[in-house]
Amino acid sequence: MTDTSHRLYAVVIAVVVFFLSWATIAAKPWATAKPDPRLAALAQREQRLRADAKLVQQVVDSRMTAYRLALKARTAQIAAVKAQAAAAQARAQQVSQSTAQAPQYAAAPSVRVVNLPPLTVTRTS
Amino acid sequence: MLRRSFRAMGTDVELLLDAEPGERAEGALDRAEAELERLEQVMSRFRADSELSLLNRDGRTEAASHDLVRVVKLAIEARQATGGLFDPTVHDAVVAAGYDRTFDALPLALAADATSTLCVDSTQGPCGGGVRVEGTTIELEPGTRLDLGGIGKGYAVDRVADVLAVVGPCLVNAGGDLAVRGGAWPVGVTDELTLELTRGGMATSGRDRRRWQRDGEERHHLIDPATGRPAVDAPIRVTVVAASAVAAEVAAKAAFLGGDVDLPRVIVTADGSTVLAGGLA
């Protein structure tokens, strides 16, 4: 009985040792792990995107600089025009006050008496 | 020289365009005619569905067109500038005098209630009713109605001239209200007198046309806002030249009613003599 048990244990241990050895050898712990090609492609793509983003940022920065310069020039133009308009309005108010009786109808049209056949006639409307 | 004549705004309209005949010029004349029709639909008091008729009916509009707002504002300014001699609120007086339909449809002799006259606001005289314009809202005081006949025609003439001027020098004449853009245009004022207009507008107000009989009494369409009745003791007609047809129309009416107008003008007095004034010689 005891011998049989000992033999059985020895066989089980031998089988276990065998499978452990097999698994260890099959895992090839001495071989270096090969990098995943998908990870490498992903890394390359990330690098390209970073480069593109840097380029786009440079373009945006240069355009923003140009826009700020144009905006500054335009703002200055608008301010100048507003100043001119304010001055013109002030002059117009002065003229208006001086001709308050008929401000709208005082503008001089251009007309003279001629001795020509008329192209059309005016009459009571 | 291209010339197109047609009827619009109850009068004869002439478009003169100094341009080469062709599609471009014809297109401009078409657009000018269409613009006149569009403005008539805005400002005619003889069309029940015009914007002005709806305003007169309701007393208020909150979505007035740009043109109606502009003309009403011009009319209010004109009333202030002429001390009330020009008044767009004479509508009821004109109607009361018998001018209640287009002149083409008006019978020569009317026999109706001759005692009717207008009274809009007794605190301001027979005319001078309140008109408020704010943005696109126009509000009339109760009982006030607008007649934009004269000033509306002047405004339309100025606008149509702007349309034609894109193509070349032009003259627009709507029943005596004229506007020119570029060029030199001889315009007959009387049988013996011709004025050459190179800039601005011209208009004539008088009692020699658009007149009719009512109860044996002669009436005409020029209402004196002070009395609410057709003006009496006025010259036969006054022609005024101004910076625009609108200004000429307003000034002609004011001058006809005795106002002090400092613009080139021709007055045909009651005895038929012609007087030049305002720098004309």
Q: What is the pLDDT of residue B227?
A: 65
Chain A closest-CA separation from residue B261 CA (Å)? 8
Q: Are B245 and A104 in contact (CB under 8 A)?
A: no
Q: What is the pLDDT of residue B106?
A: 47
Percent of chain B having pLDDT more than 90? Answer: 51
Of the partner residues A102, A109, A113, the one whose CB lies closest to the CB of residue B193: A113
- Which residues of chain B are within 8 Å of residue A118 when distances are taken between CB atoms? 186-188, 194
- Which residues of chain B are within 8 Å of residue A96 when distances are taken between CB atoms? none
Tens-place pLDDT, residues A39-49 = 999 999 999 99
Q: Which residue has the higher pLDDT, A109 or B217?
A: A109
- The complex's ipTM works out to 0.72
Number of Cβ atoms within 10 Å of the Cβ of B109 = 10
- Which residues of chain A are within 8 Å of residue B178 when distances are taken between CB atoms? 120, 122
Q: Which residue has the higher pLDDT, A61 or B99?
A: A61
- Which residues of chain A are within 8 Å of residue B155 when distances are taken between CB atoms? none
Q: Which residues pair with B133 in a beta bridge?
A: B138
Which of B187, B192, B280 is the best residue to mutate to test the A interface, defined by the most A CB atoms within 10 Å of its own CB? B187
Q: Spell out the residues 6+ positions from residue A58 whose beta carbon is closer than 8 angstroms to its own.
A: none
Residue identified by tokens 């056949």 is: A117
Q: What is the pLDDT of residue B82?
A: 87
Q: What is the pLDDT of residue A73?
A: 94
Q: In the predicted model, is pLDDT for residue B230 greater than 60?
A: yes
Number of Cβ atoms within 10 Å of the Cβ of B169 = 18
Chain B closest-CA separation from residue A104 CA (Å)? 7
Tens-place pLDDT, residues A99-109 = 443 334 444 67
Q: Are the Cβ atoms of A123 and B204 closer than 8 angstroms?
A: yes
Tell me whether B243 touches chain A (CB under 8 Å). yes
Q: Are the Cβ atoms of B174 and A125 closer than 8 angstroms?
A: yes
- What would the mean pLDDT of B213-236 be, rounded to a whole number? 66
In angstroms, the CA B92 to CA B117 distance is 7
Q: Enumerate domains of chain B plus CATH numbers.
A: 2-277 (3.10.520.10)
From residue B144, how far is each of B53, B86, B94, B141, B220 by CA, in Å?
12, 15, 13, 5, 21
Q: Are B142 and B103 in contact (CB under 8 A)?
A: no
DSSP for chain A reads: -HHHHHHHHHHHHHHHHHHHHHHHHHT-TTSPPPPPHHHHHHHHHHHHHHHHHHHHHHHHHHHHHHHHHHHHHHHHHHHHHHHHHHHHHHHHHHHHHHTTTSSSS-S--EEEEE-S--SEE----
Tell me whether A118 touches chain B (CB under 8 Å). yes
Tens-place pLDDT, residues B122-155 = 344 444 568 899 999 999 988 888 989 889 999 9
Structure tokens at A66: 């140009």
Q: In the predicted model, is pLDDT for residue A78 greater than 90?
A: yes
Q: Are the Cβ atoms of A118 and B250 closer than 8 angstroms?
A: no
- Per-residue confidence at B23, pLDDT binned at 50, 70, 90? very high
Q: How many CA atoms lie within 13 A of A77 on its CB side?
A: 6
Tell me whether B14 touches chain A (CB under 8 Å). yes
Q: In the predicted model, is pLDDT for residue A71 greater than 60?
A: yes
Q: A23-32, B152-161, B210-219, B249-258: which has the highest mean pLDDT?
A: B152-161
Q: Are the Cβ atoms of A109 and B175 closer than 8 angstroms?
A: no
- Which residues of chain A are within 8 Å of residue B198 when distances are taken between CB atoms? 110-111
Q: Which residue has the higher pLDDT, B225 or B200?
A: B200
Q: What is the pLDDT of residue B91?
A: 54
Q: Are B247 and B155 in contact (CB under 8 A)?
A: no
Helix (H) or strand (E) holding B248: helix B245-256
Q: What is the pLDDT of residue B46?
A: 85
- Per-residue confidence at B278, pLDDT binned at 50, 70, 90? confident
Tell me whether A28 touches chain B (CB under 8 Å). no
Chain A closest-CA separation from residue B119 CA (Å)? 25
Q: Are the Cβ atoms of B188 and A120 closer than 8 angstroms?
A: yes
- Per-residue confidence at B59, pLDDT binned at 50, 70, 90? very high
Q: What is the pLDDT of residue B170?
A: 95
- Per-residue confidence at B10, pLDDT binned at 50, 70, 90? confident
Tell me whether A59 touches chain B (CB under 8 Å). no
Q: In the predicted model, is pLDDT for residue B219 greater than 70?
A: no
- Which residues of chain B are within 8 Å of residue A124 when distances are taken between CB atoms? 176, 204-210, 237
Tell me whether A27 touches chain B (CB under 8 Å). no
- What would the mean pLDDT of B36-41 be, rounded to a whole number? 94
DSSP for B174-233 reads: ETTEEEEESS-EEEESSSS-EEEEEEEEEEEEESSSSEEEETTEEEES-EETTTTEE--S
Of the partner residues B153, B178, B247, the one whose CB lies closest to the CB of residue A105: B247
Q: What is the pLDDT of residue B198?
A: 92
Tell me whether B89 touches chain A (CB under 8 Å). no
**Interface contacts (A, B; CB < 8 Å):** 131
Q: What is the pLDDT of residue B121?
A: 41
- Per-residue confidence at B104, pLDDT binned at 50, 70, 90? low
